[in-house]
A and B are shown apart, each in its own frame.
Chain A
């Protein structure tokens, strides 16, 4: 199915998942406005959300199945496998979050069903970010997502920590948005367009990459993305926000929100920047700082939630290595995102099951002796920790392996070595969790009686753990999927464009400076 986006009907087709999700999210909002008092109402909203996510996923699948593509250069919204697969990742992360939220919200007495429509709007924003073919669409999606997540972070309004988290996230997030917008403005100033492919053509043919205006714009853009993905040194907000937010939302932020920002970063880097300018160098530097910083600070954490927060910073570093590897990294990126997403949400779900009244107080030592009273939950958490560590037999290993292949095949040996060395360091904080559960005695007999997971949560967890192990042993299908969708992301060929007639390029291409 080839779509001509200047045609209104085709544009509607291209946007059908987003349109449907908008309508459904509004509907859920209406339901919630009407019924928002009891636990039953909360459950209705939850199921309605799951149905909405499922329906949207089905529409994405329909486009995918019909191999939808765009005639010529995509305007505003991309129609490629990369968009579809990232949409699925966002929808899947949201669905897992909802499944783990049912019991959590009831237990924590957060009987406000607005939680669910907010989640849906956040997903809508992510889908626009992942599919945005225009810097303005990406920015709008980013804002829609961020504003929803600001509210979700502070959802437990009785807790001062949640309020702190929300305010901090809001202030720094707004700051980051400003950077991003300023960057977009400067890039527009340099190129006269906000369309990613047109920018890419200008970079390739007109030598825009040398203009200070453009370079500053790219720099500001990277700072903005750096904030959103929590790369060191722009990570300061992450641990406090992750700590204060409701635990399922923390899991959602660590996977979905991060994935969305990364997807946009990938699209911008590959479609617009190509090999131009010094972005390789900047992102390499960010990656090294993020891997080292995230892992080293995580070593010092005693609270499980903060440890996981810093670990997600460290994982952003690994993903940045995939970004540096360019188009061969995009497949690795998708694979890693799936592996890391499932694992992280499972880990946060287990954490949510453990704590009552502020999980931030669950310390690693509080898990002591868990294996004797909760053998299956301990096993699940062990698998999650090993997958985060990147141990063979788990999806996390295949993901890390894939990033290593991408980085080494592009000649980034230094980054690969930093990646493996910091992975060794990460054993120093993932293993103590395993150690506490299996090798230390429980502090008292009743230590873990409060840790329960409802049937739905247990089933979801079992599926997640099975998926982690399955992708660790038989990653072939997921690998093929990642490869084809990663390959769909490429710079527009300069010839195919009726772009403004290229002025004779004076500057010699400076393509390989960053290598």
Chain B
């Protein structure tokens, strides 16, 4: 069998097999084994980058029968939107394993097994082309994350875990009703019962007033995940309480599932509703509020992890703005920010975890003058922060710049207000950086900190390299996502030429 035919199912099955393997091996070997499994997973996913043909639409497709009686199929595929999400996931998982090496000290086997199951769930969300399969994957990743937060989290972990679970579960169950509604609607129109993505896309038009309610259900599920203001309140709790790897995966991948959902389902399925002037006004306003509000709240956080968590709300606000502006630049920018945010916020969460392991606190005021004690850590922190701020030369700049250019064409006012969001980002991250690594070195506890170990360097260097690579040479990324972005715009636009302005 050729690579194209087996790669997607293999990416889903391999982590599950790895999780089972963990239980066969002695518990003391769990983390080594998990690292091996996740590195292999990354290894087999890398060729996707070259095998992927940007203009070919959906590829690497697999379409097997699963529950024929309901027309449910095991249908997978990859396009220019999901390619990057898949690679980002397989890239972040081995780093998360390595980043948890000394952080996770109890029940290691369970932790790494859950992390691998989570990998399957996340990848499944990004490659499913059957709505039932998508829903199952969407829910399946909930349980491992719930346990990761709830068992290995901080002091307030149980509250954070249940809040995370209930928020997501509420949104997703309503989405389930909408999926079923679409399914029954298409079945009534054509006589065929199928959850296939393309089938529902082709037969999901002319829904009438039901379209609004279906859209609303999808919107709620995805907006909670993104999270959009005002549905973001689960995020700071979950991020702060989760262990380092949990935060990295949560910010790096899980949040993108929401924006991915908009790109893959909510917009193409319901273009008329999504581009209805009122809906557009609401979404764009909420995105802009998210950008500004997230930044302002981040500014007053004493806790570094909480600061990064609120900065996620702002970054994802940019993504939402880029998606809804629906120009080629803005959608490409949104996709790029989705990747960038995974990389730079991932790096920041790793660094927060490393600081926490050294000092057992994350309060900004507890640090100061670290640049002299731990120069490598300070340098890494600086690069990651600058990328998050969006300094030219880093990846953060390219993504946000594209979104703002693109959005300016359609919603100039929103774009102008959002631009101040970039300044706000500098206003919360730079002072934080100053408090941690500059300022006088007054506290005795900070004088004898150890600098980055080789293991920690291995975790950070790939992320920092990616920051610079995308910042300097984003072409390979942009060229791979362009046809998919254009296709999305073509799917959504034609029906709405009059509605938009």
Residues in chain A within 8 A of chain B (CB atoms): 386, 391-393, 401, 404-405, 408-409, 413, 416-417, 420-421, 423-424, 427-428, 431-432, 435, 438-440, 474-476, 479-480, 483
Contacts and interface: CB of A to CB of B under 8 A. Distances in A.
A440 B166 CA distance: 19
B177 A420 contact: yes
Contacts of B103: none
B40 interface: no
Nearest to A375: B110
Interface stretch (B139-147, B302-310, B450-458): B139-147
B67 A420 contact: no
B27 to A, nearest CB: 12
Contacts of A438: 147, 150-151
B150 A420 contact: no
A439 B139 CA distance: 20
A428 B165 CA distance: 10
Contact of B68 (A427, A435, A439, A476): A476
B150 A439 contact: yes
Given A393-B140, A404-B176, A476 B69 contact: yes
A408 to B, nearest CB: 5
Determine the interface band of chain B, counting residues with CB < 8 A from chain A. 20 to 34
Contact of A404 (B136, B157, B166, B177): B177
Given A391-B139, A405-B184, 18 more contacts: A391-B143, A404-B176, A408-B181, A421-B170, A421-B173, A424-B166, A427-B166, A427-B169, A428-B162, A431-B146, A431-B162, A435-B161, A438-B147, A439-B151, A439-B158, A475-B67, A479-B70, A480-B69
Nearest to B106: A372
Contacts of B158: 435, 439-440
Interface string B417-438: 0000000000000000000000
A405 B180 contact: yes
B174 interface: yes
Contact of A424 (B146, B157, B170, B181): B170
Nearest to B132: A401
20 contacts: A391-B139, A391-B143, A393-B136, A393-B140, A404-B176, A408-B184, A420-B174, A421-B170, A421-B173, A424-B170, A424-B173, A427-B166, A428-B162, A428-B166, A435-B158, A438-B150, A438-B151, A439-B150, A479-B67, A483-B69
Contacts of B68: 476
Contacts of B174: 417, 420-421
A431 B173 contact: no
The 3 A-B residue pairs with the shortest CB-CB distance in the complex, in nearest-first order: A420-B173, A392-B136, A439-B150
B52 interface: no
B267 to A, nearest CB: 24
B140 A424 contact: no
Given A404-B177, A476-B69, A439 B161 contact: yes
Given A392-B136, A439-B150, A476-B68, A427 B157 contact: no
Where chain B touches its partner, the secondary structure class is: helix
B140 A392 contact: yes
A424 B69 contact: no
Interface in B27-70: 67-70
A408 B174 CA distance: 13
B265 interface: no
A408 B166 CA distance: 24
Contacts of B101: none
Contacts of A423: 173
A341 B499 CA distance: 52
B135 interface: yes
B173 to A, nearest CB: 4
A391 B173 CA distance: 10
A371 to B, nearest CB: 9
* Most-contacted residue by chain B among A391, A413, A435, A480 (CB, 10 A): A435
* Most-contacted residue by chain A among B68, B69, B140 (CB, 10 A): B69
Contacts of A474: 67
A409 B181 CA distance: 8
Contacts of A479: 67, 69-70
Nearest to B181: A408
A392 B135 contact: yes
Nearest to B135: A392
Nearest to A416: B177
A431 B146 CA distance: 10
Interface in B162-215: 162, 165-166, 169-170, 173-174, 176-177, 180-181, 184
A409 B184 contact: yes
Nearest to B193: A405
B257 to A, nearest CB: 15
A100 B135 CA distance: 35
A436 to B, nearest CB: 9
Given A416-B177, A439-B151, A427 B165 contact: yes
A386 B166 CA distance: 13
A206 to B, nearest CB: 34
B195 to A, nearest CB: 11
B67 A386 contact: no
B279 to A, nearest CB: 21
A432 to B, nearest CB: 8
Given A391-B139, A393-B136, A420 B176 contact: yes
